[in-house]
């Protein structure tokens, strides 16, 4: 699984400005008094990504899907996809009597180098028992970079300007067809990989039981990705960046930023660059937890804090544990050429996120799972040295007792 999966806009349409789809619609009166929402349960895949189930066609074919706010289109493998689609569910347009010809070509390349090629088709797409009629999606004939992923396809939730061939995204059709009463959606990710369900995606609303305190809203500055201005990133009172551009991306695992800023952040934490993985390692054997600083993200004049056990990845290599930070340096740009930060799943699993299409805003609030901490081996964070020290004291005490007994009985 790649650490980030952001749409490469170089292969998208030449459209830069968002061609806003009219959210009122001529039949908007049919929404009056409705409070419809669609609730999609999500599964936590070892904190690398959160996935859910959808079905396509009539009769329905079920697919495991990665819901991605960093891209726009929906795609699933085609029955015509062979070697690169092994062990994945495949769509057969000839088996569905609700399929309709579309013919537009589909090609998307993600920031980690993976790509998908295929053809658009229209069919019924069902999410949590709600059916979106005549939805355009791509059935992929060529897929690269997804062989290790447990999901079959990707459902994009970014703005239409990132889409290909002018197809209307599924979220907009949900609203147009009256399946939801409000043009917003929201994510809750549970960072406990053993929890079920592992999260929730709500189309058309917000779940107030999944966050604590108030919601902080900021405006989207370019309606393509869910991009906004981040006031600052800092740690140990050291400013890493100020007035920096950022996006919320559920399709990215880690927190990604410009290479020089991420290098500065990791240096402040005590991270050392690992050439093999492209990540930064820290000494989590001898350093105490109290030696690691918090990392603070200032958004909308509110501070969103990650502590050390929230920003470390602990991996086992043979009998040894290796600790990586979740901060990865890659120079990625938005569709106007600006360097951006990507706040991925390790951020979104601590903060409930809301995406409002009508107001062009994102919202963040502290998740109810904010305080969940991964279970760490007792040998880490200085505990090993303390354990050895106490073992030494115990052994010394036993030795003294033995010597005293010997002196009593032999002298």
Active site residue 123: no
Active site residue 68: yes
Residue range 116-128: average pLDDT? 97
Residue range 273-294: average pLDDT? 94
Digit-coded pLDDT (tens) for 166-179:
899 999 999 999 99
**Active-site residue, from 73, 249, 334, 345:** 249
What's the pLDDT at 394?
Answer: 54
What's the pLDDT at 32?
Answer: 39
**Active-site residue, from 68, 73, 123, 345:** 68
200 and 348 in contact (C-beta within 8 Å)? no
What's the pLDDT at 261?
Answer: 98
287 and 383 in contact (C-beta within 8 Å)? no
Task: Determine what percent of the chain falls in helix, strand and coil, rounding each to the nearest 5.
Answer: 20, 40, 40
What values do phi and psi take at 131, rounded to 5? -105, 125
Q: Regarding predicted confidence, which is higher, 318 or 14?
A: 318
Q: How far is the CA of 180 from the CAs of 30, 75, 129, in angstroms?
A: 11, 22, 13
**DSSP letter assigned to residue 254:** S
Sorted by sequence, the CB contacts under 8 Å of residue 398 that are 6+ apart come out as: none
Digit-coded pLDDT (tens) for 54-74:
999 999 999 999 999 999 999
Give the model's confidence band at 147: pLDDT under 50 very low, under 70 low, under 90 confident, else very high: confident
Give the model's confidence band at 386: pLDDT under 50 very low, under 70 low, under 90 confident, else very high: very low
Distance of alpha carbon 82 from the chain centroid: 28
Distance in angstroms (rounded) separating the CA atoms of residues 289 and 308: 7
Asked which of 105-109, 131-135, 218-222 is least confident by mean pLDDT, the reply is 105-109
Q: Regarding predicted confidence, which is higher, 162 or 3?
A: 162
What's the pLDDT at 17?
Answer: 39
| Assigned token pair, 62 | 């079920």
Digit-coded pLDDT (tens) for 93-109:
999 999 999 999 999 98
Give the model's confidence band at 12: pLDDT under 50 very low, under 70 low, under 90 confident, else very high: very low
Domains of the chain are 9-15+30-203 (2.40.70.10), 209-367 (2.40.70.10)
Q: Regarding predicted confidence, which is higher, 83 or 235?
A: 235
DSSP string computed for 348-394:
HTTEEEEEETTTTEEEEEEETTTT------TTTTTHHHHHHHHHHHH
Distance of alpha carbon 98 from the chain centroid: 32
299-304: long-range contacts at Cβ-Cβ below 8 A with a sequence spacing of 24 or more?
Answer: 299/216, 299/218, 299/228, 299/230, 299/231, 299/246, 299/364, 300/216, 300/217, 300/218, 300/231, 300/364, 301/216, 301/231, 302/216, 302/364, 304/347, 304/350, 304/351, 304/364, 304/366
What's the pLDDT at 10?
Answer: 47
Digit-coded pLDDT (tens) for 229-278:
999 999 998 999 999 999 999 999 999 999 999 999 999 999 999 999 99
Half-sphere exposure of 317 (CA within 13 A, CB side): 7
Mean of pLDDT over the chain: 88
Distance in Å from the first CA to the final CA of the chain:
70
């Amino acid at each position: 699984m790649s650490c980030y999966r952001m749409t490469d806009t170089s292969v998208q349409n030449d459209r830069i400005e968002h061609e806003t789809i009219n959210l009122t619609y001529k039949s908007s009166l049919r929404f009056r008094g409705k409070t419809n929402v669609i609730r999609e349960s999500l599964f936590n895949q070892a904190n690398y990504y959160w996935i859910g189930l959808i079905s396509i066609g009539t009769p329905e074919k079920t697919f495991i899907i990665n819901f991605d706010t960093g891209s726009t289109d929906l795609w699933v493998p085609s029955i015509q996809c062979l070697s690169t689609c092994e062990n994945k569910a495949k769509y057969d347009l000839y088996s569905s009597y609700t399929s309709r010809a579309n013919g537009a070509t589909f090609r998307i390349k993600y920031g980690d180098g993976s790509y998908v090629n295929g053809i658009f088709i229209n069919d019924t797409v069902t999410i949590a028992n709600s059916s979106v009629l005549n939805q355009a999606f791509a059935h992929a004939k060529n897929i690269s970079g997804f062989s290790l992923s447990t999901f079959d396809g990707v459902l994009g939730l970014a703005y239409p300007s990132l889409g290909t061939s002018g197809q209307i995204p599924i979220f907009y059709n949900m609203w147009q067809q009256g399946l939801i009463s409000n043009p917003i959606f929201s994510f809750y990710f549970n960072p406990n990989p053993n929890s079920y369900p592992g999260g929730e995606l709500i189309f058309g609303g917000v779940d107030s039981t999944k966050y604590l305190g108030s919601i902080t809203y900021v405006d989207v500055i370019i309606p393509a990705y869910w991009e906004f201005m981040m006031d600052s990133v800092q740690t140990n009172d050291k400013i890493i960046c100020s007035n920096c551009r950022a996006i919320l991306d559920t399709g990215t695992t880690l927190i990604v930023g410009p290479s020089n800023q991420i290098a500065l952040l990791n240096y402040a934490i005590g991270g050392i660059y690992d050439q093999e993985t492209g990540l930064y390692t820290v000494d989590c054997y001898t350093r105490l937890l109290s030696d690691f600083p918090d990392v603070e993200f200032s958004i909308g004049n509110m501070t969103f804090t990650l502590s050390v056990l929230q920003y470390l990845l602990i991996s086992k290599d043979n009998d040894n544990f290796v600790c990586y930070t979740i901060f990865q340096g890659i120079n990625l740009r938005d569709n106007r050429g600006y360097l951006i930060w990507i706040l991925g799943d390790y951020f979104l699993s601590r903060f409930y996120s809301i995406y409002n299409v009508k107001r062009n805003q994102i919202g963040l609030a502290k998740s109810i799972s904010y305080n969940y901490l991964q279970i760490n081996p007792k040998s880490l964070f200085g505990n090993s040295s303390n354990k050895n020290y106490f073992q030494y004291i115990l052994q010394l005490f036993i030795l003294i007792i033995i010597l005293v007994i010997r002196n009593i009985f032999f002298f």
